[in-house]
């Protein structure tokens, strides 16, 4: 044993230069491995955090489109900085038609061990894109709707009648505005969403239905005047911001409940005579509620048609009636 140790010490003394070289290379390799593990892991972690900030920023911006691109850009920047306070740069790009937004975030990451190898830092970049497309399904829809054949007639009207004051009243304004079709005998506009009856109809007007309404879904109409439930449901929404009587995207209060989503439909079944029995949802529109009549004889509901991001499911193949959904695509 002593003889073996003596020979080993003799070898080290004779090969000291070569051993130092080997040790040096080993240390470089060790530092490289450490840099890859520690600094590489740091890059991966920062990239993940930065991506989450970009995703959140793009989604926040999309909620302001297609109405206000200036506010959308501000929301994107604020959200990115809130989610990642150390971010160095936030770039927001918005489609000229306001149908998509792309957010790019950048942050410089300082290295610890890689500095030994000549690498001091690295820029990390994350990008997120959100697209807006016409809505195909969603919750919170109210139980009033519009026939698709009337769309070209009333889309440019200042105010649109969403519910007639009386069933089959020839002197009443038709659903839509001048020249639009009415609903046939017995109907004033209500649809069945959560269920039949005045209470469920009123609650769906007030809160929006919990039922997910989809393109292709068949809905029954609800006959009768429904005066009390209509007034109660609509007045609750109007009272959330009573002084706000005309929609303005720049000043619209966030806690105001006047904006509602309604189905666009086609008639698929009549009952006796010309009374509409059943309709099929083919799209969605968004209205700013203007008024509900005070007459004891009826409850006429009027609204202003707007383009608005509701946030439901969406598709580029869906016909556009002004209600949008959005989703991350990149």
150 or 292, which is more confident? 292
By percentage, how much of the chain surpasses pLDDT 90? 45
- pLDDT at residue 131 tops 90: yes
- pLDDT at residue 27 tops 70: no
Q: What mean pLDDT value characterizes the chain?
A: 82
What pLDDT does 5 receive?
Answer: 52
| Cα gap 247→305, rounded to integer Å | 9
How many CA atoms within 13 Å lie on the side-chain side of 270? 7
Closest to 284 measured CA to CA, from 256, 265, 259:
265
| Cα gap 30→114, rounded to integer Å | 11
């Amino acid at each position: 044993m002593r003889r073996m140790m003596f020979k080993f010490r003799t070898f080290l003394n004779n090969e000291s230069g070569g051993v130092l070289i080997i040790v040096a290379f080993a240390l470089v390799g060790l530092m490289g491995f450490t840099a890859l593990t520690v600094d590489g892991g740091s890059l991966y972690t920062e990239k993940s955090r930065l991506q989450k900030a970009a995703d959140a920023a793009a989604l926040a911006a999309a909620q302001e489109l297609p109405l206000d691109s200036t506010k959308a850009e501000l929301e994107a920047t604020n959200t990115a900085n809130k989610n990642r306070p150390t971010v160095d740069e936030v770039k927001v790009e918005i489609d000229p038609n306001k149908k998509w937004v792309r957010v790019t975030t950048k942050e410089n990451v300082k290295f610890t061990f890689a500095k030994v190898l000549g690498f001091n830092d690295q820029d990390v970049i994350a990008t997120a894109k959100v697209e807006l497309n016409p809505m195909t399904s969603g919750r919170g829809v109210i139980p009033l709707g519009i026939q698709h054949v009337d769309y070209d007639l009333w889309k440019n009207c200042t105010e649109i009648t969403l519910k007639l004051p009386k069933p089959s009243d020839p002197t009443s304004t038709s659903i839509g505005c001048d020249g639009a079709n009415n609903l046939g005998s017995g109907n004033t506009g209500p649809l069945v969403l959560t269920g039949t009856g005045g209470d469920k109809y009123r609650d769906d007007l007030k809160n929006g239905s919990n039922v997910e309404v989809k393109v292709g879904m068949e809905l029954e109409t609800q006959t009768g005047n429904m005066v009390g439930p209509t007034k109660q449901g609509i007045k609750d929404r109007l009272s959330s911001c009573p002084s706000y009587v005309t929609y303005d995207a720049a000043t619209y209060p966030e806690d105001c409940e006047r904006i509602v989503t309604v189905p666009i439909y086609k008639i698929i079944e009549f009952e006796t005579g010309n009374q509409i029995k059943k309709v099929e949802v083919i799209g969605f529109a968004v209205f700013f509620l203007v008024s509900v009549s005070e007459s004891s004889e009826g409850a006429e509901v009027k609204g202003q048609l707007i383009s608005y991001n509701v946030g439901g499911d969406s598709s580029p193949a869906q016909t556009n009636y002004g209600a949008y959904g959005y989703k991350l695509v990149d």
